[in-house]
Amino acid sequence: MKIKVAGRAGFCFGVKRAINIAEDALKELKGGDRIYSFGALIHNPQVVEGLLKKGLQVISGHEKIKSGTVIVSSHGAPIEALEEIKKNRVRLIDATCPFVKYAQNIVKGLKKDGYRIIIIGDSDHPEVKALKNIAGKDRLSKKIGVISQTTQNKENYINEIKKILNEDFGEVKIFNTICKDTSKRQLATRRLLKDCDLMIVIGGKNSANTKRLWQICKESGVDSFHIETEPELKKEWFKGKSCVGITSGASTPDLMVKKIIERIRRF
């Protein structure tokens, strides 16, 4: 049985940057100091658990933090929450992914110019919640601005745009806010699907971009499984298979990919 790994694997730039920021802050930690992450820093439970052991504490935003340091996760945070943190004179470190920041700035500009803003993405995802918060209340306007969650499936985004273009509007502005890493991972995954009869998608069950990869694999008709760690692998999945493809989300460390490949080889 052949094992093929997608050309795009391991941490993306934004995830790597957020982890480095958190690691650097934790190194400066002194006795009595506390460092918080506003929401999970990234969507990978195993990596977050490792940071928790080093002293990082995850908060939801409802807690009243009076001292210490708060790190904004790679997904961004609502304006009100950030203002509340600043009021309490707590040190604030922004680890928001630059691509997410780019989408936020587009929303700010559209809002200022009087556009009705449409965001294509998962409504419960922290990135989308922050974007919605920046956009404010929906306004009645013939001017429409469209952006997507940075980890959105490109095909899905195009399909949603087609629906919007059937609406009654005077002007529409469409922005491609899907990050390049997401697009490249999806493309690399589709390439594997042409050769493989089994796909293993590695990444957090709470990771939007990983779930998109799994969705792409499932829709292809190829047997596909979404796992976080190597103990989840089952030997029977590989019976009669000639080629297994390995793809991973943007918050999946290289080490986890290697561990899973090693377990498959032992099978």
Please identify every residue annotated as catalytic.
127
Cα distance between residue 247 and residue 10, in whole Å: 9
Count of residues for the chain? 267
Q: Please give the DSSP secondary-structure letter assigned to residue 170.
A: S
Question: Where would I find the beta strands (DSSP E) of 73-142?
Answer: 91-94, 116-120
Helix (H, G, I), strand (E, B), or coil: what is residue 202? strand
Q: Position of tokens 């996760």?
A: 73
Cα distance between residue 148 and residue 102, in whole Å: 11
Give the DSSP H or E segment for 243.
strand 243-248
Are 128 and 122 in contact, with CB atoms under 8 Å apart? yes
